[in-house]
Structure 1
Amino acid sequence: MIALSLAEIAEVVGGQTHDIPDPSALVTGPVVRDSREVEPGSLFVAFAGERVDGHDFAAAVVEAGAAAVLASRPVGVPAIVVPDVQAALGALARHVVRRLGTTLVALTGSAGKTSTKDLIAQVLRRKAPTVFTPGSLNNEIGLPLTALSATEETRFLVLEMGARGIGHIRYLTELTPPRVGLVLNVGTAHIGEFGGREQIAQAKGELVEALPPAEDGGAAILNADDPLVRAMASRTKARVILFGESGEADVRAENVTLTEAGQPSFRLHTPSGASDVTMRLYGEHHVSNALAAAAVAHELGMSASEIATALSEAGSLSRWRMEVTERPDGVTVVNDAYNANPESMRAALRALAAMGKGRRTWAVLGKMAELGDESLAEHDAVGRLAVRLNVGKLVAVGGREASWLQLGAYNEGSWGEESVHVSDAQAAIDLLRSQLRPGDVVLVKASRSVGLESVAQALLDSGNEGEVAAR
């Protein structure tokens, strides 16, 4: 964060200083909410959670070098006390962003936000210092913490914005007003909370409504291939740039193919030129993500050749998102277990099919959460798709939703041992350890609450220990 005195911070957030001997002392380190991340000069933000109260760590973080604690009550060490810690954190972020004048890029969408954000960051940082959301910290706490990590040297600030209801993105854009706004897609993630795709579109479109008008540099980057996103052009005063495979897109892809390993290759077209891209990421769904990143980069002054080079060299920066690892025995483990929704599940299955040509494929899948009344139909559809893509074996892990996955596969034409329902992650591990053969490809994917990353890790550990014998 830029250096601010404790007195300045107290004024910005409307707080009272307590036990601070020198209000002119500066916060020069990062703003953190995890006591393990405290550095000398940090500001520690004390949230009172259901299981852990950050106020209990106040003395320890000051002893570790924190300049002060942002708290909701006096804690016996230097603190700025406010009525609402979350609101104060947001106010501080808004103040710092406005003071910096950094070009702020915000993105949202039902699927692919984190992967696209990582691509944008890797492209833009070739041009200038760039700060971006780590992982998927895209809510009312993670977003201001990311914004506060920007410094005077930061030229681009790339922020992922998530939403679980109408008004959430509007609130985030008030904290960190963007100049460039990107909407990737409108799918069915969290449809149970929103009530329908139209409501999801209403929420995602709050991003483009927050952009400045075109004459002030506002740019809305919209997916030309998604009708609900494309319709958002009428909701913004910003200049509209379309991306996608549509011939009407300003930034588009032609001649899309997949390498033998399942990595996308295409000809990138921008308003200022064209260049070839071959990605290191896996799956054709990354073409749309790459085009979105290219549209942002072009808007911010990068050439087609610069963008293509950056996209071709970009990797995955966030854990458990299509992490591809080959074991010493030739088994390939695809760990995509961070989260799942119907769109990302279908994309991952298609990537598995492309990667597994000539090899035996496994889809180890668990439930997709927050689908409401659509849950049965969506799980059934994913099970059926696994069969249509000729996945060698579906392992459905967990309770009721997993049984729907397996039933969909069975009804589509999978029988006998081609699909199986197991109770939990350990049962899946035991099954895979007994049946995997060298050369197999295993996809592991489910909503975060299922914890299937443990399956992927167990398979990698097994490979390293040489537990699987060649068959």
Structure 2
Amino acid sequence: MGANAYADIQKRFKNSNRGAGGLNIQQIANGQFARAADTITDAWTSIRRKRRAIRYKWRLWDAKWHRTRSGATFIAVTGSSGKTTTAAILSHILSGSDQTFCQFRANGLTEAVTTLRRLEPSDKYAVFECGTGKPGDILPMAQLIKPTIAIVTMVAIEHYSAFRTLAAIAAEKASLLEPLSAGGLAILNFDDPLVRAMAANTKARVVGFGQHNGDYRVSNPRLNPQGELALTITPPTGQTLELATRLLGKYSWLPVAAAAVCALEMGISPELIVARLETFQPMLGRMSVEQIPQGPRFILDTQKAPWFSLMLPLEVIREIEAPRKRIVLGQISDYAGNSRSKYRNACRAALEVADEVILVGPNSHKFSTTDEGSASPGRFKGFPTIKECAEYIRQSAVEDEVILLKSAKNLHLERIWLNFVDDVQCWPTECGVKNRRCFDCLFRVPFAEHGAAKNYPRKAPYQQRLCPDGKGPLASPADL
């Protein structure tokens, strides 16, 4: 090595800490270590993925094995709205006859696999809610469950970002009927033309129901002063059934009729159907009523708020008798176009049926007192945070007033009700935990102190086994 080359190497070592291109031995070592660490991380990631894939394939095989050996009658329910309530009502009716295993609220393929693996030979009926978040979700579930009976409630715009059109949603819902055999049964809402059209694409026997079309006709939906629904169903035989329920709103005729028609087609006695419907409680957070002693009556509708069905609970408030009516609106979902116009239209519609309307959350600025007009001065309030809204409602509440809490579940508006019955300390406007209800969570602990996910309590079960003698884990699906 020449003297000049040796001197150049020495110079580069000396300047390595302050100049690009210098040979820094520590940097070389660090770089090699980082590349080795990345290689090890990639290897472990690949191993974990393969382990998960093997574990899932085993779970899937086990679910198929349980499905094959089960002698239960399998019922699958889907639709853009009403599927959860339909599955819950049907489970409640069937459990009055024999042991029933039901799954709803969580309605994806993973949940279907878990439910099937927990089937027991003594289960006479198995009821599944089948939901979708993107095209192609329902068909694998249907092929796994292999339902004996499939129910489709309705088709409407939901999960707008994934589907965009009614035709795409209808095609997705119709895939539930594909695995039905010729001896199977499809129960369809014939008042919905998109659902009625599905009858041409199945080899199973089809039974339709509706207020205007179908084999089973629904008539005279009516509400008592508390807003609870009663209706009449006329089967093809002509013998009418008078059904009284605790569900709110005339629009609840759809899940009631779907469940009752299915039960009748399965041979359940009309007397048992009538009796079980009278005792069914709405599921918590789905137009459920929570009365505060010497305080307001809350109606919790905090699980979903798609634009297409937003006006339905407002009509319930119009019909209910109360000394004062208030509506709290949070997040609206599944709509096309300008969001400001949607919130303005929603608030104006609410002001037509309520004494006061409160818009809460990150969209609270999209309606203001200037939008109220001269017809309703002082009847609107907006709060950017849930805590401010909860404190205002608690301070201004009057006995026996009705307060509707309506929002998509990301805002967790149920905390406004919980604040009356417990010490709520968790007040982020959006915590990011959408798959857990506040009453199943750490609402007594400030959000900043929640810590890791392992600190959270176990989520409420999405499947339960119901027994006719009342000795099962639940007395009613409403406990879920």
Contact residue 369 and residue 378 of structure 2 kept, 8 A: no
Match of 1:319 among 284, 290, 302: 284
Cα deviation 1:336-383 (Å, max 9, x = unaligned): 21222224432222222222x242111111112344547555444432
CA distance in 2, matches of 1:144, 1:407: 48
SS at match of 1:306: helix
Q: Secondary structure at the match of 2:126?
A: strand
Q: 2:152 aligns with which of 172, 179, 183?
A: 183
2:121 aligns to what SS in structure 1?
coil
Q: Is the 8 A contact 1:268 1:308 kept in 2?
A: no
1: distance between equivalents of 2:373 and 2:149? 44
Query: Are 2:406 and 1:459 equivalent residues in the alignment?
Result: no
Structure 1 contact 208–220 (Cα < 8 Å) conserved: yes
Residues 159-168 or 306-315, more deviating: 306-315
After superposition, where does 1:45-56 map in structure 2 within 5 Å? none
Verify: 1:307 aligned to 2:273, yes or no: yes
Q: Is the 8 A contact 2:296 2:400 kept in 1?
A: yes
Partner of 1:422: 383
- Deviation, structure 1 residue 252: 2.5
Note the C-alpha offset of 1:260. 0.9
Asked whether the equivalents of residues 91 and 175 of structure 1 are also in contact (C-alpha less than 8 Å), the reply is no
Q: Which amino acid aligns with 1:92?
A: D
2:260 is the alignment partner of 1:291: no
- Please tell me whether residue 114 in structure 1 is matched to residue 84 in structure 2: yes
1:172 to 113, 130, 141: 141
Counterpart of 2:446 in structure 1 is none
Instruction: State how 1:50-129 maps to structure 2 within 5 Å.
Output: 83-129=53-99
Task: Tell me: CA distance 1:456–1:87, structure 2 relative to 1, closer, same or farther (3 Å).
Answer: farther
Task: Measure the CA separation in 2 of the matches of 1:307 and 1:258.
Answer: 19
**CA shift in 2, pair 1:152/1:146, >3 Å:** same
CA separation of 1:455 and 1:339: change in aligned 2, threshold 3 A: same
Contact 2:218-2:231 at 8 Å conserved across structures: yes
Matching of residue 256 in structure 1 with residue 221 in structure 2? yes
Larger mean Cα displacement after TM superposition, 183-192 or 414-423:
414-423
Q: Does 1:368 align with 2:337?
A: no
Taking the aligned partners of 1:192 and 1:310, their CA distance within structure 2 comes to: 38
Aligned counterpart in structure 1 of residue 171 of structure 2, from 202, 211, 214: 202
Amino acid at match of 2:358: V
Count of residue pairs the alignment pairs up: 378
Whole-Å separation in 2 of the counterparts to 1:220 and 1:380: 40
Contact 1:180 1:219 in 2 (8 A): yes
Cα displacement (A) at 1:82: 5.7
Q: Which amino acid aligns with 2:389?
A: A
Mind listing any 5+ residue stretches in structure 2 that lack a counterpart?
1-46, 424-480
- Seen in structure 2, the aligned counterparts of structure 1 residues 370 and 265 have a Cα distance that, compared at 3 Å, is closer
- The question of whether the paired residues in 1 share the 8 Å contact of 2:325 and 2:355 is answered with yes
Please tell me whether Structure 1 or Structure 2 has the larger radius of gyration of its CA atoms. 2
> Could you tell me how far apart the structure 2 residues matched to 1:409 and 1:177 are?
56
Does the Cα contact within 8 Å between 2:295 and 2:400 map onto a contact in 1? Answer: yes
Which amino acid in structure 2 is aligned with residue 397 of structure 1? V
Residue of structure 2 in register with 1:469 after alignment: none
The equivalent of 1:331 in structure 2 is 296
Q: Tell me if structure 1 keeps the 8 A contact 2:151–2:186.
A: yes
SS at match of 1:141: helix
Distance between the aligned counterparts of 1:153 and 1:413, measured in 2? 64
TM-score computed with the length of structure 1 as normaliser? 0.74
Counterpart in the other structure of 2:362: 399
| 1:114-133 superposed Cα distances (whole Å, 9 cap, x missing partner) | 11111010111122211101
Output the CA distance in 2 between the equivalents of 1:194 and 1:201: 10
Corresponding residue for 1:41? none
Write the deviation string for residues 298-333 of structure 1: whole angstroms up to 9, x where unpaired: 1211233332222222223x3322221221214101
Offset of residue 426 of structure 1:
0.6
Residue type at the aligned position of 2:189: N
Instruction: Go from structure 1 to structure 2 and tell me whether the alpha carbon gap of 1:411 and 1:418 turns closer, same or farther (over 3 Å shift).
Output: closer
Tell me if structure 1 keeps the 8 A contact 2:372–2:380: no
How far does residue 434 in structure 1 lie from its aligned partner after superposition?
2.5
Cα distance change of structure 1 residues 381 and 91 upon mapping to structure 2, 3 Å threshold: farther
Partner deviation per Cα, 1:123-175 (whole Å, 9 max, x = no partner): 111222111014x1101211221222221011111000000122110011122
Distance 1:303 1:319, change over 3 A: same
Q: CA RMSD of the aligned region, Å?
A: 2.6
Question: Residue 359 of structure 1 aligns to which amino acid in structure 2?
Answer: P
- Relative to structure 1, the CA distance from residue 408 to residue 447 in structure 2 (aligned partners, 3 Å threshold; closer, same or farther) is farther
State the shift of 1:408 in Å.
11
Structure 2: distance between partners of 1:139 and 1:407:
39
What's 1:226 paired with?
Answer: 192
Change (3 A) 1:127 1:151: same
Structure 1 residues 84 and 368, CA gap change in structure 2 (3 angstroms): farther
Letter in 1 for 2:245: M
Q: How big is the shift at 1:335? A: 1.6
Aligned counterpart for 1:340 among listed residues 305, 323, 329: 305
In the other structure, the counterpart of 1:28 is none
For the Cα contact (< 8 Å) 2:112–2:128, is it kept in 1?
yes
- 3-state secondary structure, aligned to 2:53: coil
Unmatched segments (≥5 aa) in structure 1: 1-71, 75-79, 463-471
* 1:403-461 alpha-carbon deviations (Å, 9 max, x no partner): 44x36993687643222221021111122122222221001121111111111211344
Match of 1:359?
A: 323
- Please tell me the residue identity of whatever aligns with 1:383: C
Change in Cα spacing, 1:93 to 1:371, as seen in structure 2 (3 Å) is farther
Q: Distance in 2 between matches of 1:241 and 1:363?
A: 38
Between stretches 159-168 and 364-373, larger displacement belongs to: 364-373
CA deviation digits over 1:231-265, x for unaligned, max 9?
A: 2112211111111211x322222222111111111
Kindly provide the CA deviation profile for residues 377-396 of structure 1, in whole angstroms up to 9, marking residues without a partner as x. 544443232133x2111111
**2:352 matched to 1:383?**
no
Q: Is the Cα contact below 8 Å between 1:270 and 1:304 reproduced in 2? A: no
1:280 and 1:387 map into 2 onto residues whose CA distance is: 26
* 1:70-93 C-alpha deviation (Å, 9 max, x unpaired): xx759xxxxx95634444433321
Give the share of equivalent positions with the same residue, in percent: 26
- Matches of 2:344 and 2:206, distance apart in 1: 37
Structure 1 distance, partners of 2:180, 2:123, is: 20
Conserved? CA contact 1:410–1:419, under 8 Å: no
Would you say the 8 A contact 2:307–2:334 is kept in 1? Answer: no
